[in-house]
Amino acid sequence: MTARREASAPPRLPGYEFLRVLGLGGFADVFLYQQELPRREVAVKVLLAGSLDDEVRTRFQSEANLMAQLSHHPSIVTIYQAAIAADGRPYLVMEYCSRPGLAERYRHERISVAESLRIGVRLASAIETAHRAGILHRDIKPANVLTTDFGWPALTDFGIAATTGHGAGATVGMSIPWSPPELLGEHPTGDQRSDVYSLGATVYSLLAGRTPFEIPGGQNSAQQLVARIERSPLPPTGRDDVPVGLQHVLERAMAKDPDRRFTSAAAMGRALQAVESGLRLPVTPLDLPDGDEPAEPPLVLPSAEPEDATRVRSVVTLDPHGGRAAPVTPVAPDADEPTRLSGVHVLRPDDAAPRPSAFVVPDEPARGTEEERPTASRRTRVLAGAAAAVVLLGTVSVVAYANLTGEPPPRTSPSQDDLTGDAPQVTGQVVPAPHSLKGVAQADGSVVFTWVNPLPAEGDRYLWAVRTATGEPTPQLADAPTVTVPADQAPGGQVCIEVSIVRADRSSSTQPAQGCTS
């Protein structure tokens, strides 16, 4: 058994006093320092690099800037400073997350379904934010999720270790138990849906207390895990309190074929929100820069062939002007630890940018009561406005369904009586929202809208309505996933609609899909 190495010497940093070692990793050590001004404890991650030339230092600064772009997100570890110490080692000054991280928790305590859902939604919003900035994480796992002083999950390790591959660019250290099949084959490729898989595997681990394809008490070598990930169906979590709907969300997120997964982290986050609603739990907000999801297809990024159990990957960077750098040579892996550093994939900003929302959120909506950490104040007004809009749309859809069918409206959210009384547990499947909603203007001035039902069921119908700037929409029922808006309702060929799926049992989508003329 290999002896654990000693921590490197903490660097002397002006304005900081060294306190103690926090952790050791394959590419870096993490130390606790006391910052003098402002006075606070911070975590300092120091790369283990013998010598760095000007080119590597420049690349380090560039990648540190990428991570700093994401630091405003409440579920991404905040970066305060990135610099080079006097001894030549690059370092990051980060938010100190004092509570136990997910790696310390998931094998030693039973994490509730409610908390697992809440963590999943918040991580989904963090991952979606990174994707929209053009960054793939590529190593999402419990060890890379810390916990802030306020109990929020905080995603870390976005790839500063890329600078350690001198002369060859960045590297990505993949961890097999949470890696998707496409990154474990002979010719690995990955995109946003690879991160979706790893998010699903992380949520699964929180619920099961083990990695997804690990057999308790059985043989779990790297080779055996890879074979199960590539060929075996996802096993149940083994918990009676995990609803069928949540198991289905995890199965879709971790589908072998990327085309069968959620197309984005935001889509998975909304599916987890729907499970929360079905269980009559408070719905965790998706903390996104805006309310729209990217419409562009995912961009596939090839990477180097794996060579060992830890599967260290190379990074491909795409130039903003269209050029693509060559993949690089992998470096030797180390143990799977919380301080492990991974590489960054950089996409073209235009490919990751979402379309602007067609609907305006009020300037001064009422503030919600969802608990938030102090750094989240900058997004409270936007989230509250978005939540109010969703509630309004859901109310209109439910009332409209009752008026059109003469039947009691479907239940999509709990009442106050449900929250305070002895309401039964809901374990049915979640009704998803349609996706790929788009409208095409016709020569006669009308607009034909089409959409995709992700999980069609017998008896499905569609409640749809034209969105208007003033007044309430007039909902209608459709039997097929297509409708035509007449020319008199689409002046100039421009029109927006919303669509919900309505099941035969009168359950409906938690929130409607929205789309406009393309």
For each of the chain's 518 residues, which pLDDT tens digit applies? 445 678 889 999 999 999 999 988 767 789 999 999 899 999 998 887 654 556 656 666 766 777 788 888 999 999 898 888 888 888 989 999 989 999 999 999 999 999 999 999 999 999 999 888 888 888 899 999 999 988 999 998 875 333 223 332 333 446 889 999 998 877 778 889 999 999 999 999 999 999 999 998 888 898 899 999 999 999 999 999 999 999 999 999 999 999 999 999 999 999 999 999 999 999 999 999 865 444 433 333 333 333 333 343 433 334 444 443 334 333 333 334 433 333 444 444 444 434 333 333 333 333 343 443 444 444 444 444 544 444 444 444 444 554 455 445 444 434 333 333 333 333 346 788 898 898 888 888 889 989 899 888 888 999 988 876 555 567 888 999 999 988 888 776 678 888 999 988 878 887 788 888 87
Task: Single out the catalytic residue among 59, 138, 379, 461.
Answer: 138
Distance, first Cα to last Cα, the chain: 61
Q: Domains of the chain (ranges plus CATH)?
A: 16-95 (3.30.200.20), 102-352 (1.10.510.10), 410-516 (2.60.40.10)
Cis peptide before 414 (omega within 30 of 0): no
Residue entry with tokens 């060890």: 143
Token look-up 């905080």 returns 154
Indicate if 138 belongs to the active site: yes
**Which pLDDT belongs to residue 118?**
97
Apex 203 CA angle, 336 and 242, nearest 5 = 140
Instruction: State both tokens at 322.
Output: 């269209």
Q: Which residues contact 164 (CB under 8 A, 6 or more apart)?
A: 27, 47, 48, 49, 171, 331, 341
Alpha-carbon gap, residue 393 to 467, rounded angstroms: 10
| SS3 at position 516 | strand
Torsion angle, alpha carbons of 253, 258, 263, 268, to 10: 10
Query: 172: closest CA among 70, 351, 311?
Result: 311
Q: Where are the beta strands (DSSP E) in 287-344?
A: 301-302, 312-314
DSSP class of residue 183 equals G
Rounded CA-CA distance 298/345 in Å is 13
